[in-house]
Amino acid sequence: MQLIEKYVKRFFWVPFVLGMVGYWMVGDLPFVESIYASGTLYFVNPVEDLSNPWILLSKLLAMLVTTGFLLSALGHVLSRFRGVWINQFTDSVCVYSDQPSGEALAASVKHGYLAGDLSPQTTAGAHDHIFFYSDEKETLQRYLEQAGALEGRRVYIGLKAMDPALLRDTRKLDVHYFHTLEITARTYWKQYSFYQEIADEGREISVAFLNWNEVGEAVFKYGFMNNVYALSQKVTCHIWGCTPTAAAFLSGLKTWNRDRIVIHDGDWRESTEELRDMDRVILTEEAPLSSIQTLLYLDKNLPIHFYSASRTGYAELMDAPNLKEFGNLEEVLTDDNVRREVLYRQAKLFHYDYVLHSENRSCPSDFEQEMETAWRALDGMKRSSNTARADHYWIEEKLREKGIPEEELWEMEHIRWCRFHSVNHWSYAPERDNSRRRHPLLVPYSQLDKKEKGKDGIYDETIRNEIAKLL
């Protein structure tokens, strides 16, 4: 319906102009009468008997425009009635969006529907509200304009560039943020991890990030945090296209193991021989056809992973067996990823385990509400930290199944924890200072005392079992 409405608006004037040509310029009908005759064509009710090719074409196009308008109007009416019906369910969800990925998100929700804007019907009826417009600023403005009307409802706000950890505390308002690039990056590394190459085969890995931008930063960040598979691993990240500020930050970023970060000057096209030997090349510009072709000229078997927010089909069409496409928002932004992702429950369980450990007590049988209360007491940074822990846990469990000693798993978890804080601009200080992002535990694992080392494991058996159920 949105597509029909788009073309009706774009071509609405065409039949009128063609009618004026046919009636006034060719048919010699007086100007005022020509205006009236051209206008009546939209009602499929000509008032003049004149006929020429211009008028016939105008009649045909006017019929199509009128039909499109009626279909669009009917669609709005049906959408309104559908919203009224869906709002009868206790899990109803209204998605406010102006883009196809928003429409796909609404379709992925069992009792969800799409709306262009807030109305008394949606605010009073829908239980959950998701704001996700193509312009991030508009997303935030739309929410702020209606924040009062949504009090008592769950709200989810889609972000693209803004870091949710820097936003004002919204714990009391039941407002949650989802970051499209973070979800894209997490989804990418789950699908294309280096687990087999490193944990199973013991290979050293070289990966190239080309055309550094917001997507590249997100994919690197989550890869840097999650790609911890062995104490002896060596992953070298080669990065091209950094700004001076990003280059300075990445150059000083500690990996806490044998991994390396190499910043390259100049354009990556000047380093094509070096790219031939990469285990993976990641392109983060939008649907980079020319860059893909340049790399395939080097070696059609080169492992190339490229980003596109909408499906291109390049990977299916090209004779390149290792070409992979990622980032399709219609596949990434699902109800599971936005509202119901298992990852967030895992994160709550990890934090609650930490609370139990700190208070030296066991998990009660009715822990759910207490766990939720403890989670709501966290700021955005601490929530992100627990979510990152949960995001890596599947790797820890697979390593445990391989028989890796618990002490080694604790050390790898500490490396991951240090990486999370380092890539989020924390650094070491003898005293903790949250406002300045300083932490005394940003030290090698060997320098931790026994009590701190133990915190890298799971304390309570009930919590361990609950987490295991989610894997």
pTM: 0.80
Whether pLDDT at 450 is above 90:
no
In this structure, which topology does domain 192-307 adopt according to CATH?
A: Rossmann fold (3.40.50)
Rounded to an integer, the average pLDDT of 308-328 is 95
User: Which band of pLDDT confidence, cut at 50, 70 and 90, is reported for residue 52?
Assistant: confident
Angle at 275 between CA 270 and CA 278, to 5 degrees: 160
DSSP state string for 21-71: IIIIIIT---HHHHHHHHHHGGGT--------HHHHHHHHHHHHHHHHHHH
pLDDT at position 39:
81
Mean pLDDT of 16-38: 84
Q: Provide the pLDDT for residue 82.
A: 58
The token duo for 300 is 């059609």
Model confidence at 69: pLDDT above 80: no
Interval 357-383: pLDDT, tens: 999 999 999 999 999 889 888 888 888
CA–CA gap between residue 111 and residue 83 (Å, rounded): 9
* 89 — pLDDT class (breaks 50, 70, 90): confident
Q: How confident is the model at residue 171 (pLDDT cuts 50, 70, 90)?
A: low
Interval 151-178 mean pLDDT: 80
In this prediction, residues 259-287 reach a mean pLDDT of 94
Mean pLDDT on 426-434: 95
Given a cut of 80, whether residue 80 has pLDDT beyond it is no
- 439: pLDDT strictly greater than 60: yes
* Predicted local distance difference test score (pLDDT) of residue 379: 82
Report pLDDT for 83. Answer: 56
pLDDT in tens, 121-160: 666 678 899 999 999 999 999 888 888 888 888 899 999 8
pLDDT classification of 222: cutoffs 50, 70, 90:
very high
Cβ-in-10-Å burial (0-12, 13-18, 19+) of 323 comes to buried
Mean pLDDT of the chain: 88
pLDDT at 169: 60
- C-alpha torsion 314→318→322→327, nearest 10: 0
Token code pair at residue 184? 């894209």
